[in-house]
Structure 1
């Protein structure tokens, strides 16, 4: 089984800001996690002891056929972890007792590949704990005999193991343990092939009150409920999750660098607060989940498991932005994805049995086909992110602008999309089945032919005159038009009141009919013009805002949010 939390070792990315360091890329990914959650509800018929304790940690694991949430917890009699099978009707399928009291407190934990690392402590004397590594390769039938145990004994509080993280770093299995309120952080390691031989040794200990906070984004270290480790291109990162002094749910991102004494230096790179719902709280439990493409999720839970319980899932925040003439960028598709764009545009010409991507016929170049530049890379992205482009279950729009004969090219497009029917949304006899990609045909659109199709893998890009029609959003998901046809304001000075009202009315009408509204040819001569026009479009709640400068529009949305 392959899980979401993996060692990530890939080459340096070139993102929408150009060449960037690993730290900058990770911060960019971290900052794109949305502040508001998707709520996951699961039912429970298992017997569980909620007395004298509460949930302490949560992780998601993504298997080949099923996805699971794992929750650790404490009670007045035993420590445990429970398994929730996620799906259309999510259900808790087991409560797995780990140890009886006094070891009744299973704290914050992390899953790495097939391994679950959790601290189990004497919650009465608080002078001893056991950090246990379990095999979680079969979530529906987990082994409850630890592969390895790290024994911790000594002073009260200092020997607790309230939160634990695990990853692979420099060919070693690395475990991090936070004591009571994470006042101290201890690192243990062993050879990767000895993870089941009780061979972990202490590698470093850090008094967090003595951390050097030079070049930190702020000087705050919090009492984290959960700590998670991950690597990226041989660099090591640490995320702490909990609450700050204002009882805000907070995630802090740190880089870890080894010094000459083999100690780890913490550098705080970013911090972010989150709005939990349905009694979920980072003080109860939260965990980070990473895909193979380093897209991040945070999962959080409440304090107890009832007959019906909610989890909060914070996923990648897609911005309602459209990459105009996307193929003209240095990295077609990937520059837009690095900037979290919702919609991506490619102009096409049909040549033989292929669709070539170019603005003009004379610009066609060998190899630059729709399949090679967009469809295959999107398919790979969807596979890596377990069913969606960004790993958050939200569809991405691929606008295909037909530049030559509409009917001939559309028929060829339809045949090509048949090969991607597992990735592309389909309308069959008027019923839409949503997939990871929504294809929208623009330019020379054979509307009558598309409307008559019983099976259709693309929608129609409407125009403003279609706003008052009865065309369904299934057939016409997007309405786009030329800004200059409807507005005289050029982004200099304030927008006239009547044009502001017209813009708002058009946006409301489109939204009420389920269409995404977009304008092209908006004033964009200067950055100031672009920003004031984007502000008016956003204030009017226009569905998609287009741009040629992707990083500039992304920064606009980031600053507004």
Structure 2
């Protein structure tokens, strides 16, 4: 019996791998595919004819899966857009306050085109308007110069001045100048009317304080910046001469030889304004000065500029970051932020108000990113062209869920 068992031959175990060792690659692939197909067929093959077919169950499960996926997609879609609408409502600007300024903006016409001229002041002039540290760049381009900015709470306006035949015209280029658009008609006459009415005695309790434009903060002044486009000395002298009535009323901020005496209007000269004429002219000297220089923000190391002669300290941001250092779409880089921070801190240490002009205008998200970065770095005045976006929209929330909402 034992001999019979020993005489049995043990057949070697042969695996699929051993079989395929000598088979070409293409045949190996066919073998694997056919084996997979065989397994798949067996999985659906009924060993007993009484067994139910697995196909209905598979179809039902597939339909269930598709239904659940579709429901989740719809729920996600609804939540996404509900959140989006809630954010839009949150950042959308409220209705502008009803006051004298909004009425003036609505009824404003070009100076000299109608008689009598529309008023420059109405009761409750700037009620509910909060002043903001924003500069209206090239303000004369607005539909309503000066008043559009004031209605939004902007505390800095800019007028480009051209001295031609003894008159100061306001416009960006010579071809833009018109007889009706003068420094006096667009800015000085309206400001005179505003401050005269804001300081009118109420007949009950006389107040020696000089009131400014803002009802909510009567001590908050505005900056009137003149960007001189023609020869500096003569143009500045003409500006100073036209400001004389405001100066006599005590409405201009001035240096008294030892300190700054604030007024409702701070006059800042830029463009072709000569620094020498700011320091000494027929309207000012070392003991009195009512015009202040726009000092170069990127060149304050000489210590020539301080609160006795300067107010703004400005520079084109494209001058600071040009060529390979140009601002990227995502805003200021870490190196650029460090540069801006050092310049702002230097200006602040001298008592000057830092301002960057020529900021990115497009794309919108780049502009708003730079705005936010400058504010977070403590810039003294945010220079803007899009005054509506900068003042009424909550632009720090304008880019949400991959969409631009402002």
Give the shorter-chain TM-score range.
0.5 to 0.7
Encode CA deviations 1:397-431: one digit per residue, 9 max, x unaligned: 01100001000111111111112112222234454
User: Could you tell me which of 296, 300, 306 is aligned with 1:472?
Assistant: 306
User: Could you tell me which of 337, 348, 351 is aligned with 1:511?
Assistant: 348
Q: 1:502 to 1:466 in 2, by over 3 A?
A: closer
Encode CA deviations 1:130-183: one digit per residue, 9 max, x unaligned: xxxxxxxxxxxxxxxxxxxxxxxxxxxxxxxxxxxxxxxxxxxxxxxxxxxxxx
Name the structure 1 match of 2:230. 404
Which aligned pairs between 1:543-558 and structure 2 lie closer than 5 A?
543-556=380-393
Shift of 1:294: 4.2
- What is the CA–CA distance in structure 1 between the aligned matches of 2:328 and 2:252, rounded to whole Å? 37
Encode CA deviations 1:502-524: one digit per residue, 9 max, x unaligned: 11121122112111111111111
Aligned partner of residue 538 in structure 1, secondary structure: helix
- What is the CA–CA distance in structure 1 between the aligned matches of 2:272 and 2:197, rounded to whole Å? 34
Name the structure 2 match of 1:119. none
Q: Which runs of 5+ in 1 are unaligned?
A: 1-22, 30-231, 234-290, 298-315
User: Could you tell me which of 374, 377, 385 is aligned with 2:198?
Assistant: 385
User: Could you tell me which of 301, 306, 329 is aligned with 2:142?
Assistant: 329
Shift of 1:473: 1.5
**Conservation of the 8 A alpha-carbon contact between 1:344 and 1:398:** yes
Aligned partner of residue 462 in structure 1, secondary structure: strand
Which aligned pairs between 1:444-455 and structure 2 lie closer than 5 A?
444-452=272-280, 453-454=284-285, 455=288
Shift of 1:540: 0.5
Structure number, greater radius of gyration:
2
Name the structure 1 match of 2:116. none
Q: 1:336 to 1:526 in 2, by over 3 A?
A: same
User: Could you tell me which of 312, 330, 336 is aligned with 1:499?
Assistant: 336
Q: Which has the higher helix share?
A: 2
Shift of 1:526: 2.0
Matched, 1:424 2:252: yes
Name the structure 1 match of 2:176. 363
Matched, 1:486 2:320: yes
Aligned partner of residue 268 in structure 2, secondary structure: strand
Aligned partner of residue 467 in structure 1, secondary structure: coil
- What is the CA–CA distance in structure 2 between the aligned matches of 1:513 and 1:326, rounded to whole Å? 27
Q: 1:419 to 1:294 in 2, by over 3 A?
A: closer
User: Could you tell me which of 419, 425, 434 is aligned with 2:262?
Assistant: 434
- What is the CA–CA distance in structure 1 between the aligned matches of 2:383 and 2:126, rounded to whole Å? 24
Name the structure 1 match of 2:126. 295
Matched, 1:459 2:305: no
User: Could you tell me which of 1, 6, 26 is aligned with 2:97?
Assistant: 26
- What is the CA–CA distance in structure 2 between the aligned matches of 1:372 and 1:410, rounded to whole Å? 18
**Conservation of the 8 A alpha-carbon contact between 1:491 and 1:523:** no
Matched, 1:395 2:215: no
Matched, 1:343 2:343: no
**Conservation of the 8 A alpha-carbon contact between 2:130 and 2:153:** yes
Name the structure 1 match of 2:80. none
- What is the CA–CA distance in structure 2 between the aligned matches of 1:507 and 1:369, rounded to whole Å? 34
Encode CA deviations 1:325-354: one digit per residue, 9 max, x unaligned: 110110000111111111101000112332
Q: 1:296 to 1:558 in 2, by over 3 A?
A: farther
Count the aligned residue pairs: 261
Encode CA deviations 1:4-24: one digit per residue, 9 max, x unaligned: xxxxxxxxxxxxxxxxxxx93
User: TM-score under structure 2 normalisation?
Assistant: 0.60
**Conservation of the 8 A alpha-carbon contact between 1:491 and 1:532:** no
Higher RCO (C-alpha 8 Å, min separation 6): 2
Name the structure 1 match of 2:18. none
RMSD of aligned C-alpha atoms?
2.5
User: TM-score under structure 1 normalisation?
Assistant: 0.44
- What is the CA–CA distance in structure 2 between the aligned matches of 1:494 and 1:26, rounded to whole Å? 33
**Conservation of the 8 A alpha-carbon contact between 1:322 and 1:344:** yes
**Conservation of the 8 A alpha-carbon contact between 1:324 and 1:344:** yes
Shift of 1:493: 2.0
Shift of 1:390: 1.4
Encode CA deviations 1:49-76: one digit per residue, 9 max, x unaligned: xxxxxxxxxxxxxxxxxxxxxxxxxxxx
**Conservation of the 8 A alpha-carbon contact between 1:531 and 1:556:** no
Q: Which has the higher strand share?
A: 1
- What is the CA–CA distance in structure 1 between the aligned matches of 2:99 and 2:391, rounded to whole Å? 11
Encode CA deviations 1:341-392: one digit per residue, 9 max, x unaligned: 1110100011233211011122210121111101111122223333201132
Encode CA deviations 1:202-259: one digit per residue, 9 max, x unaligned: xxxxxxxxxxxxxxxxxxxxxxxxxxxxxx99xxxxxxxxxxxxxxxxxxxxxxxxxx
Shift of 1:27: 6.9
